[in-house]
Amino acid sequence: MEKETNTNRRAFLKTAAAGTAGGLAITSGGTSAETRPTPVSQKAGSPPATEAGGIANRIRGPLIPIQPAFADDEALDVTSTCEWIDWLVKEGVPLFWTTQGTTCYFYLSDSEILELNRSIAQVTKGRAILIAGIPFRFSTRECIRFAESAAQWGADIVMVQTNWQERPDPEAAFRHYKALADHSPLPLFAYSLTSWPENFIERVLDLPQYVGMKNDAGDYEAHSAIINAARRRGRAFVPMTGGEVRPYLYGRLFGAQAFADLVTCGIAPKVILDFARYADTGDYPAAVEIVRKYEEPLVAAFSPLGLHPTFRVSRWLKGKAKSYHSRFPMQTLDKKGVSTVESVLKKVGLL
């Protein structure tokens, strides 16, 4: 499957670079208002559907998954993290999210997660959109409290992260999602880690408080299926892949309007902002050239070492963190690894 996926990616990049975009036509998406589902009843505090739809239309361009910095003694370095985010905002990055994986929730205490999200929201408030992710381990009641706090901090959206690898009962999972829709004062993002239960995406789409989702279940076919499901309902709904910029070239043809990237955008935001501009205006050869010049060599060189520890080194080498260390048991690169990262960044012109 991985070999087939990589072949599909290479084939698509080849046709996109030729300016054909695989022979697919770009469509504006959407259907008539008559086809939209009747909004579910909303309890006090839940954002109206019009407000949720409005912010969905503002979710455009590159998004940075926030990786926190740590000090040499493994302490969470909130200050360095926020200084890095402030720089990214000034460079023009419009979107950020905190997640279970990249934001290291597995290795942070509850109080550290709350402190980090609160501090980030103070940086992004009124300047960029922050999608604050809820930890896997939080109960439904704790998720609602997190959403209420996130609204007070100044976050814009809350992401409901469920560990689908635990195979929760679909009905219980939907009740969880529905409870957040009923009680969250902020619009919501859904999350898929593996394939969802049958018809689950359609049921979530019938909850107007959900304005998008982080899709880690598949880059191409799975992603276009989610986009098309939303379009059939005439929904303002933004599915986003979690890692690289390449899937956006494909998803853009089906109505995708945003994408997540850390490896390149986290240290060279202007490069990826240019990529987004090229992709959005149909200049696929220029967009593909950025993928080939930066993303492909970085991912190829850094994947064997680990994308997360190599990014910490990249950020440190760019002067955007005081340390490249991780918190045990997360990996910290040795001197040889640091030298490799430095060499690669110099080779592609980012250092």
What domains, with CATH codes, occur in the chain? 47-282 (3.20.20.70)
pLDDT band at 324 (very low <50, low <70, confident <90, very high): very high
If you average pLDDT over residues 245-266, what whole number do you get?
87
If you average pLDDT over residues 226-254, what whole number do you get?
82
pLDDT band at 21 (very low <50, low <70, confident <90, very high): very low
Region of poorest pLDDT, from 43-47, 185-189, 243-247, 292-296 = 43-47
Mean pLDDT of all residues belonging to the chain: 85
Higher pLDDT, 18 or 106: 106
pLDDT band at 35 (very low <50, low <70, confident <90, very high): very low
Smallest CA-to-CA distance from 52 within 247, 216, 238, 314 is with 238
- Residue labelled with tokens 């409870």: 179
Confidence at residue 55, expressed as pLDDT on a 0 to 100 scale:
93
pLDDT band at 247 (very low <50, low <70, confident <90, very high): confident
Q: Is the pLDDT of residue 328 over 50?
A: yes
Region of poorest pLDDT, from 21-25, 59-63, 311-315, 343-347 = 21-25
One-letter amino acid identity for 254? F
DSSP for 267-293, written as a single string: T-HHHHHHHHHHHHTT-HHHHHHHIII
Higher pLDDT, 68 or 5: 68
Sheet holding 129-133, edge to edge: 238-241, 210-215, 188-192, 157-159, 129-133, 95-97, 61-65, 258-260
| Its pTM surpasses 0.75 | yes
Structure tokens at 153: 């901090």
Q: Can you name the residues that pair with 215 across neighbouring β-strands?
A: 192, 241
Structure tokens at 85: 């985010």
Confidence at residue 248, expressed as pLDDT on a 0 to 100 scale:
87
State the Cα–Cα distance between residues 113 and 120, nearest whole angstrom: 11
Confidence at residue 167, expressed as pLDDT on a 0 to 100 scale:
82
* Percent with pLDDT over 90 in the chain: 65
Higher pLDDT, 245 or 251: 245
Q: With contact defined as beta carbons under 8 Å apart, do 129 and 191 qualify?
A: no
Q: Is the pLDDT of residue 2 over 80?
A: no
Burial 198-217, CB ≥16 within 10 A → b, else e: eebbeebbbbbbbbbbbbbb
State the Cα–Cα distance between residues 184 and 203, nearest whole angstrom: 18
Q: With contact defined as beta carbons under 8 Å apart, do 240 and 212 qualify?
A: yes
Q: With contact defined as beta carbons under 8 Å apart, do 261 and 297 qualify?
A: no
If you average pLDDT over residues 213-218, what whole number do you get?
77
Higher pLDDT, 277 or 23: 277
